[in-house]
Amino acid sequence: MAKIYYDADADLKYLEGKKIAVIGYGNQGHAQAQNLRDSGMDVVAADIKGSRAWKQAEKDGVPITTVPEACKQGDVIQVLLPDEFQPMVYKEHILPYLEEGNALCFSHGFNIHYHQIVPPEYVDVFMVAPKAPGHMVRTMFVDGLGVPALVAVHQNPSGKAMETALAYAKGIGCTRAGVIETTFREETETDLFGEQVDLCGGVTEMIKAAFETLVEAGYQPEIAYFETLHELKLIVDLIHEGGLARMWQSVSNTAEYGGLTVGKRIINEQSRAAMWEALERIQSGEFAREWVLETQANKPVLKALEKQEFEHPIEEVGARLRAMMPWLKKE
- Residues 8 and 139 grouped into a single domain: yes
The answer to the question of whether 231 is labelled as a binding residue is: yes
Query: CA-to-CA distance for 76 and 300, rounded, in angstroms?
Result: 36
The answer to the question of whether 7 is labelled as a binding residue is: no
Question: Which residue type is seen at 182?
Answer: T
Among candidate residues 119, 147, 181, the one where a domain is terminated: 181
Catalytic residue among 108, 113, 135, 312: 108
Q: What CATH code is carried by the domain that includes residue 18?
A: 3.40.50.720
Contact 23, 57 (CB under 8 A): no
pLDDT at 327 over 70: yes
What is the separation of C-alpha 277 from the centre of its chain, rounded to a whole number of angstroms?
Answer: 23
Among candidate residues 181, 215, 249, the one where a domain is terminated: 181
Under the banding of pLDDT at 50, 70 and 90, the label for residue 139 is: very high
Under the banding of pLDDT at 50, 70 and 90, the label for residue 330 is: low
What's the confidence (pLDDT) of residue 331? 44
- Residues 176 and 204 grouped into a single domain: no
Handedness of CA 284, 154, 151, 76 (dihedral sign): negative
Among candidate residues 160, 181, 202, the one where a domain is terminated: 181
Angle at which helices 134-142 and 27-38 cross, to 10°? 20
Residue 27 lies in a domain: yes
Residue 186 lies in a domain: no
Q: How large a percentage of the chain has pLDDT more than 70?
A: 99
* 108 is a catalytic site residue: yes
- Residues 321 and 242 grouped into a single domain: yes
Residue 77 lies in a domain: yes
- pTM of this prediction exceeds 0.85: yes
The answer to the question of whether 26 is labelled as a binding residue is: yes
More confident residue, 284 or 329: 284
Residue 187 lies in a domain: no
Residue 283 lies in a domain: yes
- Residues 163 and 199 grouped into a single domain: no
Q: What CATH code is carried by the domain that includes residue 267?
A: 1.10.1040.10
Residue 55 lies in a domain: yes
Q: What would the pLDDT profile of 192-246 be if each residue is shown by its tens digit?
A: 999 999 999 999 999 999 999 999 999 999 999 999 999 999 999 999 999 999 9
- Residues 161 and 223 grouped into a single domain: no
- Residues 280 and 175 grouped into a single domain: no
What is the separation of C-alpha 41 from the centre of its chain, rounded to a whole number of angstroms?
Answer: 24
- Residues 246 and 204 grouped into a single domain: yes
The answer to the question of whether 173 is labelled as a binding residue is: no
Query: CA angle at residue 222 from 220 to 225, to 5 degrees?
Result: 110
Rounded to an integer, the average pLDDT of 274-301 is: 97
- Residues 216 and 269 grouped into a single domain: yes
The answer to the question of whether 202 is labelled as a binding residue is: no
- Residues 150 and 217 grouped into a single domain: no
Residue 251 lies in a domain: yes
- Residues 161 and 198 grouped into a single domain: no
Q: What would the pLDDT profile of 80-100 be if each residue is shown by its tens digit?
A: 999 999 999 999 999 999 999
* Structural domain count, the chain: 2
> Of 117, 164, 199, which is closest to residue 17 (Cα–Cα)?
164
The answer to the question of whether 134 is labelled as a binding residue is: yes
Q: Containing domain of residue 38, as a range?
A: 2-181
Residue 331 lies in a domain: no
- Residues 9 and 56 grouped into a single domain: yes
